[in-house]
Amino acid sequence: MQPLTTEVVRAQGIVTERRAAALSAQRRADRQDPPGSDCRSGRIPWPPQASPEWSDWRWQLRHAVTRPSQLAELGLISRDEAEELETVVRTYPMRITPYYLSLIDWGDPSDPLRRQALPSRDELRIDARLQEDPLEEELHSPLAALVHRYPDRVLILTNTFCPVLCRHCTRKRLMRGKPFYADRQTLSAAISYVARNPRVHDVLLSGGNPLCLSARRLDWLLASLSAIPHVEVIRIGSREPAVLPQRLFDPNLREVLARHRRKLWVNTQFNHPRELTDAAAEAIETLLLLGIPVNNQTVLLRGVNDDVEVLYQLFRGLLRLKVRPYYLLHADATQGTAHFRTSVFRGMELVESLRGQLSGLGIPLYIVDSPKLGKLPIVPTYARPCDDGYVELHKPSRGTIRYPDGAP
């Protein structure tokens, strides 16, 4: 087996970038789209997706759209709609990378990707049942940038910057104002806290987006946490594979991840099968080749994926990429996201409908996260006791049977 050296990582990166560029070029040729115009309506003055610029994550961030008026100038929305959305952006900012813009069907006002990325006036509607901090993270923060809700796990908020500001974000309150990056002193305090607490075995780096840290800062943070003997797992929560896969093509980042891969896991968030692009597949493959397992945490969103066929295609597609569909998260009770939330019972129905259609490996655990109970799995009751030594087993898609029970 070839050792994972810096040279090997760089070579893998070159292959990954070339494959992604070739696949993108082929897809564009198959669709007969004009170069540099992958959006389904509007004229996009950007380079072809097969170009080095398009594959550069820094270029993607520099050209991210942050004002509705920019979308109007590109011909993607009307000027009237842009003016209406400016009132939303003053409260909840927007940012959309050119890559993610290119995935949206701008001819469809109800497009599920558009719904995730484009502001909506519904975000300003106040719902008395919802909270700014629905998981009470601030109450469980013994110090800045650290959340300790479970005895053996802590969460470190590395920053509040995301390449795409998802409209359903559970930390929507942190979208306001300029992006914040935890400084070295703040992160050092969090590392010291973990070192002083031997019950902590699992550290989740979140935000924002930890992969938006500089390679040098991320390297120092991962090295510091990896050096703590009782830390066994370091998870990076990042939506980058779905919204900015080009970040994983950066050789400096790959070298950092390869250096600390022994304890590393990545949790990502794909919410719709159209996000499973060739570039996303290459980003995932990069992580897998480095020996880093990848789990997916889909958020159940009304108008995006609250449909059996959509979830089936999404979870099946994730399995093809060797990504485990880990959680289907019920949308948190976050102020400004009421229009995304389904009923809990609808979520149960969807998961139940997938059984028998999809391998158990591809069916995630349906979870409701709450401040008092933590993460609670929501599962149907399949077994009912009988008094005659049998148990009644029920599966909606197959019916009911009597099954011989064992000794109590």
**Is the confidence at residue 182, as pLDDT, over 90?**
yes
Could you tell me the residue range of the domain that residue 115 belongs to?
A: 32-124
**Is the confidence at residue 65, as pLDDT, over 70?**
yes
Q: What is the mean pLDDT of residues 169-176?
A: 93
Residue 390 lies in a domain: yes
Indicate the residue among 124, 142, 157 that finishes a domain: 124
Residue 395 lies in a domain: yes
> Are the C-beta atoms of 246 and 191 separated by less than 8 Å?
no
Per residue in 139-160, pLDDT (tens digit) is: 999 999 999 999 999 999 999 9
The active-site residue out of 133, 250, 278, 369 is: 369
Q: Is 166 a catalytic residue?
A: yes
Instruction: Give residue for tokens 């550069």.
Output: 56
Q: Is 149 a catalytic residue?
A: yes
Per residue in 245-301, pLDDT (tens digit) is: 999 999 999 999 999 999 999 999 999 999 999 999 999 999 999 999 999 999 999
Q: Is 372 a catalytic residue?
A: no
Q: Is 169 a catalytic residue?
A: yes
Residue 192 lies in a domain: no
Indicate the residue among 93, 124, 155 that finishes a domain: 124
The active-site residue out of 95, 171, 172, 341 is: 171
Q: Is 217 a catalytic residue?
A: no
Indicate the residue among 102, 124, 146 that finishes a domain: 124
Rounded CA separation 49/28 (Å): 8
Q: Is 150 a catalytic residue?
A: yes
Q: Is 375 a catalytic residue?
A: yes
Q: Is 39 a catalytic residue?
A: no
Residue 283 lies in a domain: no
DSSP β-ladder status, 264-268 and 294-300: parallel
Residue 104 lies in a domain: yes
> 181: which strand partners?
159
Cα distances (Å, whole numbers) of residue 73 to 82, 91, 247: 10, 22, 27
Residue 271 lies in a domain: no
Rounded CA separation 99/275 (Å): 11
Helix axes 6-31, 278-289, angle to 10 degrees: 160
pLDDT band at 407 (very low <50, low <70, confident <90, very high): low
Residue 377: CB atoms within 10 A of its CB come to 9
State how many domains the chain has: 2
pTM: 0.87
Residue 171 lies in a domain: no
Q: What is the mean pLDDT of residues 305-315?
A: 98
Residue 402 lies in a domain: yes
pLDDT recorded at residue 30: 40
